[in-house]
Amino acid sequence: MTLYEFQPLAEDCHYNDGTYCAGDVVLADVRNPIENLNSKGKTRPFVLVCRIDGHWSGMGLTTRSHYATGVARVAIPDPEAAGLRGPGFLWGDRLTNVSALDVHRVIGCVTQPLAEAVIDLAGLSDADSEALRKAAADRSMGD
């Protein structure tokens, strides 16, 4: 099993660390060692899904509409709610981990359509899916 295939046990996951919660869209330094081994990380919007020890697992967001292969990325259904100033797309088809020290500030939050897009694309576990759906529902009741 590679590092990228690691799936945490539900009991290892926390959805609120006292500062950030699942469903927050934050600015975070996301590294891409597959394309750049010496990467220091690029600050990008990032949907928090699950806190495991010193890391948050989540989905990066990008302005690039297509992967390098030419395949279209999944569009963010509601970029303004996510804190974006224009169109955005889900970065990949699986979650990635960032150090909790590399999470900077909340810029937005998931809505139900964004939660469902992340759940579908990344194939989230039942517990992670429930946490994102609950975050979206809680925030929609606050509007």
Is residue 91 assigned to a domain? yes
Residue with tokens 């799936």: 7
55 membership: H or E segment, kind and range: strand 55-62
| Structural domains in the chain (count) | 1
> Which tens digits make up the pLDDT trace of 26-56?
999 987 655 656 666 689 999 999 998 889 9
Residue 105: give its domain's CATH number: 2.30.30.110
Neighbours of 124 (CB within 10 A): 23
4-18, 53-67, 108-122: which range is least confident on average? 4-18
Q: What is the pLDDT of residue 17?
A: 82
Q: What is the pLDDT of residue 34?
A: 59
Is residue 30 assigned to a domain? yes
Q: What six digits make up the tokens of 50?
A: 């699950």
What domain range includes position 54?
A: 16-142
Is residue 99 assigned to a domain? yes
132 membership: H or E segment, kind and range: helix 126-142
> Which tens digits make up the pLDDT trace of 77-121?
999 999 999 999 999 899 999 999 999 999 999 999 999 999 999
Is residue 131 assigned to a domain? yes
Residue with tokens 């970029």: 79
pLDDT-derived band at 16, boundaries 50, 70, 90: confident
